[in-house]
Amino acid sequence: MERPYEKLKVALNGHVSWALAAAKFAAFLLEFQEAYEPEHGYYLVHFKSLAHQKKVSRSASTGWYLGTASSPSLGLIGDAGKGDDSLFRLTVVSARAAFTLDPTRSLMKQSGSASILSESQRQSFRQNGYLQIRGAVPLPLANAALRRINHDLGIPGNMIDGGVEGNIKLAGNTSNSDAVLDLYYLSDVYKYVEALVGTDQVVPPQGAQIALRFPELGEPREPLGTEWHTDGMRQGRLHPFTLLAGIALSNVPEPLCGNLTVFPGSHISLHSLLTADGKLHGHDDECYKADSVWGDGTLPILGVPVQLLAARGDLVLAHPNLAHRGGLNFSPDIRYQVYFRIKHKQLDELQEQCTSNLWADLQGLSFDD
């Protein structure tokens, strides 16, 4: 017998799904005990504890499994040392429950399509261009990734010039290590991503950006409305990816701590101003070179920058056309963040549509509500 240990998860929007339990379970081997004579057709077997068996399929299911292997004959299982009363029969009753909610008994507004996101969250993403999800990544996963990053930071030669704002970045394979990739594949992050991009429409990410914001010296100052960029501006492409998924590995409880800084609604206002090669009309030279920080203050004012507060394990989803910047950090701590740049499987084919339709490759957003 081999079955995933799962728990029922009911979201506030009425979406019901099976989620992997956080606990890890050992695997056991059922050993036939020849020393015991069969009585009444029953056989005694023992559980032999094995190491944890982690079975991961990054393109499909993930999780910890409780595995057992038994003889062809059905038998009782238990610890013979505790007496016959402790023995039990191993029987597979059901592989997994299957059911649906009765919508007539739900007091919640139906969103038209099943989604882990509520309609208010979907509307917030459309309007603001970003959405924050609290606690999307369990702390053990976040801590494991942070530990791996800090370990690699301590290896001589691993810190190299990041090219922008004098920042550094990690060399080597930290960005595609298991600890970093697990943030996406072993948490609910991929579910939130699919809720926007579309079920089975996501190219499985093979790596991530490790974004470090180191403390700055001098007098603290606020970010300006002219200090921004879109990722496509520096890549020379209007729509280089489908969705930005950022996971906080630091607690950022107040502004000026390296917060991801965004300009709400700018994905809409910039849509008609950006060319197919990602440039801004009338600003051909700004913000496209590494030594031109935020366009040297000559870019249009996009309003008041919003510094996002976050706790370790929080998720932010952002439209690729959303104006943003790395946060100013006048705290004593390094700010750690991991970014996955998500692509739709048919992104290349949808490029032309993306120039006129902000949501062409975000097929999880339905406008039929």
pLDDT in tens, 208-237: 999 999 999 999 999 999 888 888 877 777
C-alpha–C-alpha distance, residues 319 and 359, integer Å? 9
C-alpha–C-alpha distance, residues 119 and 116, integer Å? 10
C-alpha–C-alpha distance, residues 237 and 344, integer Å? 16
Question: Please, which residues have CB within 8 angstroms of residue 168's CB and are 6 or more apart in sequence?
Answer: 159, 160, 161, 162, 212, 214
Is the Cβ–Cβ distance between 276 and 238 less than 8 Å? yes
Options 3.40.50.300, 3.60.40.10, 2.60.120.620, 3.40.50.1970; CATH of 119-354 = 2.60.120.620
State the chain's maximal CA–CA distance in angstroms.
90
Pair of tokens at residue 257 = 């701590």
pLDDT digit string (tens) for 112-134? Answer: 334 799 999 999 999 999 999 99
Check whether 258 has a pLDDT greater than 70. Answer: yes
pLDDT band at 281 (very low <50, low <70, confident <90, very high): confident
Pair of tokens at residue 233 = 């501006």
pLDDT for 92: 41
Is the Cβ–Cβ distance between 264 and 320 less than 8 Å? no
Calculate Rg over the CA atoms of the chain: 26
| Residue that wins the pLDDT comparison between 236 and 174 | 174
CA distances from 267 to 247, 281, 358 (A): 21, 15, 8
C-alpha–C-alpha distance, residues 117 and 216, integer Å? 37
pLDDT for 90: 52
CA angle, corner 22, sides to 17 and 26, nearest 5?
120
Sign of CA dihedral 148, 154, 156, 161: positive
Give 1-24 as a DSSP string.
-EEE-EEEEE-TTS-EEEEE-SS-
Domain boundaries, the chain: 2-89, 119-354
**What is the strand order of the sheet 76-77 is part of?**
28-32, 44-49, 76-77, 88-89
C-alpha–C-alpha distance, residues 345 and 202, integer Å? 6
pLDDT digit string (tens) for 72-81? Answer: 445 555 555 5
Question: DSSP class of residue 260?
Answer: -
pLDDT for 106: 34
| DSSP helix/strand/coil, 294 | helix
